[in-house]
Amino acid sequence: MHTVAVLALDQVIPFDLSTPIEVFSRTRLPDGRPGYQVRVCAERDEIDAGAFAVRAPWGLEGLAGADTVIVPGVAEPTAPLSPAVRDALRAAAAAGTRIASICVGTFSLAATGLLDGLRVTTHWGAAALLAATHPALDVDPDVLYVDNGQFLTSAGAAAGLDLCLHMIRRDYGSAVAADAARLSVMPLEREGGQAQFIVHDHVPTPHGSELEALLTWLRENLARDLTLTDIAERAGTSTRTLIRRFRDQTGTTPLQWLHRARIRQAQHLLETTAHSVERIGHQVGFASPTTFRDRFKRTTGVSPQTYRRTFA
């Protein structure tokens, strides 16, 4: 039987801890046998989980011999990892154990150095912090999970379910995974990634900056067919100078900023109006519905209709 060790760190996020316990514990094979044995492991006898305490039946020795180790997130993801936990995770990795993190558990796993040089993900709201804290990682904030073979990482909250179902499918095939998904009232595969859940706010610009008035004008004129030349003329500068100022003050180009602002406005309209997709595309400045749909899906990972069904 496949053994899953779920690591309960101090200040563990209860949802992250319970997700793998429930999903793997309830997985059944076609003949009715359980697919997994689940161990809850911790460094100490009792772990603070915020609203309650966790008494783990296994210590860190429970990671040894497990086929999979799960690292849930903790309330303070940048808190130092204890040497004992770090060494236990490294020993498990050296033994070939599959290790997966849920949500900001990626921070804890990254603190071992095991993820250096790998593409990873975490909750989109913590992705920038993860990249800054662990610059050796290739952080992708747009996906629900990343499978590197031995090491897997997932985005926030429900994406932990997606990752667990993915591992079940790897272990036992689609039929067993589909049954586990039904028990969790989850689709086996969700359309799109976590990009659809990201709040695409406008890039902040310091008050009183050279671009403040221009960005306000752009927000008020999203529906217009604006070119780089149009924007430069409005700013009273050359296109080269405009691009340089945009990169310095917003970290992107004028047209990329404009596309992002249009998609954010389209998201708002899809959430709050019954306007057709074609009309919304026109309202935010796209010349054709096809161009709008393509740009929207590249930015959010899903189609406008799927986004509306999810968030309207």
The pairing of beta strand 151-154 with beta strand 145-147: antiparallel
pLDDT of the residue at 186: 63
pLDDT at 207 over 60: no
Tens of pLDDT, residues 226-241: 899 999 999 899 999 9
Q: Of 119-128, 158-167, 297-306, which range is least confident?
A: 297-306
Between 144 and 202, the higher pLDDT residue:
144
Contact by Cβ (8 Å): 277, 236: no
Q: Cβ neighbours of residue 244 under 8 Å, at least 6 residues apart?
A: none
* pLDDT band, residue 51 (cuts 50/70/90): confident
How far is it, in rounded angstroms, from Cα 95 to Cα 24? 22
Q: Which domains does the chain have, with CATH numbers?
A: 2-197 (3.40.50.880), 212-311 (1.10.10.60)
Contact by Cβ (8 Å): 28, 91: no
Token code pair at residue 137: 């990682």
Tens of pLDDT, residues 244-260: 888 877 767 888 888 88
Between 187 and 47, the higher pLDDT residue:
47
Instruction: Report the SS3 class of residue 217.
Output: helix
Contact by Cβ (8 Å): 84, 41: no
pLDDT of the residue at 125: 87
pLDDT at 144 over 90: no
Contact by Cβ (8 Å): 147, 119: no
Between 307 and 35, the higher pLDDT residue:
35
Q: What is the mean pLDDT of residues 42-68?
A: 92
pLDDT at 112 over 70: yes
pLDDT at 11 over 80: yes
Tens of pLDDT, residues 192-202: 445 444 444 44
* pLDDT band, residue 29 (cuts 50/70/90): very high
Residue keyed to tokens 């671009």: 211
Q: Is 306 exposed, middle or buried (0-12, 13-18, 19+ CB in 10 A)?
A: middle
Token code pair at residue 259: 């596309």
Residue keyed to tokens 């659809």: 196
Amino acid, single-letter form, for residue 239: T
How far is it, in rounded angstroms, from Cα 16 to Cα 122? 12
Q: Mean pLDDT for the chain?
A: 87
Q: CA nearest 87: which of 64, 66, 105, 118?
A: 64
- The CB density around residue 68, as the number of other CB atoms within 10 Å, is 23
